[in-house]
Structure 1
């Protein structure tokens, strides 16, 4: 049944599951969580994979790079598909099709097969874009930043939860008599099956908009937007603000991915921590998504109410600069206590910057939210790709030089020199990346909105739980 009077939710009432917006919020967040869980699910098992498949160091690094490379193309494509077919069908197919390479990853027998699977598993990282599109369609302007940030932040937890979840699944599998060396394979198959099942849940328990699914609305003669207001993809690409946000997200989410992926080794090499201790610190870094990204969206909404759309940009610029300063400072510390403090501050600020970015995105072009979200989301993975290449090149050169310089001094001496060289190289890389983030924060100030946009999105009065003016524009065909 189509309800053309249904409105976007103006409150994030998490336990009001009768509300279609809240129900969709939870299902998108859980689906996003499972996609990230499966996307990075192999990380805890990499030592087993290296041993089982005989991966070289280059193949191991290439698998990391391929995993984020595939996501770039998927995110660029999925945004446009969301605009055309709606987020419900896009998420359903992404979950079901994305489950295939996850399952196949558990069946690979050669390094090449593993690399191919890692490339295609990266496609499920496009789930972020659909999550942001669907949440933007369900929540009003006064709360959309907070809703977007919270759903994304809780979904991002999947990238950290797999450090606990995957070993637990593996332990359960081993308890049934499976060899420990084979447990990683079964764990990936199970993760893929869960993703497939979430696709079924998404299809039956969500809808595209508060009014209903796009297909049903069109068949009933109802259109969400008038044809004369449709925006072509090329027109979207010409908006300079989208490309600034592309770079901004590269400097926030992209850097988070890279730091998250390299911090284990850096903490061990720099502060001589045990692998388990370093892993737990990185896990806590990921778990901050529970609240940190939400804070970014919350303050984006708050500054939006105080200063309009310009206020959202001002906060985004500020938190980006803070993020860069925290990373630069962390890169220069030699004390584990001081380093831990600045790592927490970096974690908080980078995740707030991500939330603040998508408190701005829904207002860039409301007639092409999917396309805008896809382009900006792809920026995150481009940033991760470039940062990973920088750190890999610096670290590889430094390690090779250390090995050459200490040849003949014994295995322990070479290993110590190699660790020290890697630590220094990555530290320099973090320093450079931090400076780039600060510059990006300043560049973000170039994002401008017209007086018409500011007026259309000015704070509006609310009555009860309904925000005046938040009815979706519709057209009923005669």
Structure 2
């Protein structure tokens, strides 16, 4: 008999049930999206030489890569509520593959900047990923499901930093000059994105009960039920959403910033080659194989024992440790120690990511897409603001990292204030008894 309710457990060896099949395809798709979104990042030392880019121009490129994602995440969060995650993801994948494949046509700073801006739309994949797992899993495991799917997808950022220099090296080995090799290398992730667009459309469905279009045809009242959800204005009036917006900016925003600058940081500060710097930078992203999932697991455990307050306290503690780790990392100039400290703050940063989205599904059950979109956009706002620091000609990368660490510590205090009793109301009271029953 077909299961039409969200799954109450996670069985990683299950590839047949709707919830688990969607789980696996969602994280794999998100993984591929990271290849497209950050595929150019480890090749920037070569691009810098080819196009003659200054530090300020590289800073603008970093900002461009994450700025448009703010609006894309808001748009696709809204689309998920309206047309469902399946079609939303398909549109994003097919459209996003084009600038990834064609960025190699760039012949100036201006054209490269525009392509990098367009590629940033792919970052909206995160919101669709979180939305899809949120509707597929019950409250007792939704934090773990969200964190694991996002974490394994985010791992693509680390793998990209390792693999793209190798793909680049393969083209060089075939006889292409470096100015041509980086351009051909970017075709590889673009083609992967295009293929995944069709895979996602044909192999997933919107909810455990079926696709939204079929449900609306079968149940004349379904459309009316969907319209009974919260308005965007109502969601925006909830200050808890904006506190999580800040929290996600302080963790995921810093993660994608590090993904963008890590290779350059190790090349410039430790005088490493492209491949060596890429491997070390890749270790940062590879922490996602378990660290973000841990954040969701701890969030769910705290939620079962202490309710929403427990989830929020866990988040604030992780953010505090992340901020302190960033400040320490910025002061280290010994390579082995720098790697060790980087992995330390990466652990808490990625657990903060997971802990944030163990809270998100409990803020407003009627507008999961909009809440996910706003909070997800916060990650990119954080990355944009951090990008302005790295763009500055008067601040070194080390000084910028220290300032970011101080800000993250401040945000951890704001997150902790959410644990005050009056903030813990769930915006759909009729669901609260059922949620507590499942969490018990």
TM-score (norm 2): 0.91
Aligned-pair distance for 1:461? Answer: 7.5
1:229-308 paired onto structure 2 within 5 Å: 229-267=228-266, 270=269, 276-308=275-307
* 1:274 positional shift: 5.5
Does the Cα contact within 8 Å between 2:59 and 2:387 map onto a contact in 1?
no
What are the equivalent positions in structure 2 for 1:159-178 lying under 5 Å apart?
159-173=157-171, 178=176
- 1:228 shift after superposition: 7.0
**What secondary structure is seen at the aligned counterpart in 2 of 1:73?**
helix
Residue aligning to 2:405: 434
Secondary structure of 2:8's counterpart equals coil
Deviation, structure 1 residue 278: 3.6
Q: What's the CA shift string for 1:70-112, capped at 9, x where partnerless?
A: 1111011110111011000000000001111112212233332
| Contact 2:59 2:390 (C-alpha < 8 Å) held by counterparts | no
Tell me if the contact between 1:153 and 1:292 (Cα under 8 Å) persists in the aligned partners: yes
- Superposed counterparts of 1:98-137, under 5 Å: 98-137=96-135
- Please, what is the CA RMSD of the aligned residues? 2.3
* C-alpha displacement of 1:227: 5.3
| Contact 1:45-1:184 at 8 Å conserved across structures | yes
Which has the larger displacement, 336-345 or 180-189? 336-345
Q: Specify whether residues 329 and 109 from structure 1 end up closer, same or farther in structure 2 by C-alpha distance, changes over 3 A only.
A: closer
- Asked whether the equivalents of residues 305 and 459 of structure 1 are also in contact (C-alpha less than 8 Å), the reply is no
Deviation readout 1:338-376 (Å, 9 max, x if unpaired): 433322210100000000000000111111111111100
Q: Deviations over 1:140-164 (max 9, x none)?
A: 1111111111111111122221223
Of residues 143, 147, 163, the one that matches 1:145 is: 143
Tell me which residue corresponds to 1:37: 35
Which ranges in structure 2 are unaligned for 5 or more consecutive residues? none
Return 5+ residue gaps in structure 1 as ranges. 399-421, 463-478
Q: Normalised by the size of structure 1, how large is the TM-score?
A: 0.84
**Is 117-126 or 56-65 further displaced after alignment?**
56-65
- Structure (1 or 2) with the larger CA radius of gyration: 1
C-alpha separation in 2, matches of 1:337 and 1:48: 25
Range with bigger deviation, 377-386 or 269-278: 269-278
Displacement after TM superposition at 1:188 (Å): 1.6
Q: How many residues are paired up?
A: 432
Q: Distance in 2 between matches of 1:237 and 1:303?
A: 27
Q: Does the 8 Å CA contact 2:137/2:145 hold for their aligned counterparts?
A: yes
Name the CA distance, whole Å, in 2 between partners of 1:105 and 1:52.
14
Instruction: Tell me by how many angstroms 1:19 deviates.
Output: 0.6
3-state DSSP class of the match of 1:458?
Answer: helix
What's the CA shift for 1:267? 4.1
| Equivalent position of 1:386 in the other structure | 385
CA distance in 2, matches of 1:461, 1:386: 37
Distance 1:209 1:74 in 2: 22
Instruction: Provide the C-alpha distance between the structure 2 equivalents of 1:168 and 1:428, rounded to a whole number of angstroms.
Output: 31
Distance 1:155 1:357, change over 3 A: same
Q: Is the 8 A contact 1:309 1:457 kept in 2?
A: no
Structure 1 residue 202 and structure 2 residue 206: aligned?
Answer: no
**Cα gap change, 1:111 to 1:225, in 2 (>3 Å):** same
User: Contact 1:144/1:359 (CA < 8 Å) preserved in 2?
Assistant: yes
Residue 6 of structure 1, aligned match among 4, 7, 12: 4
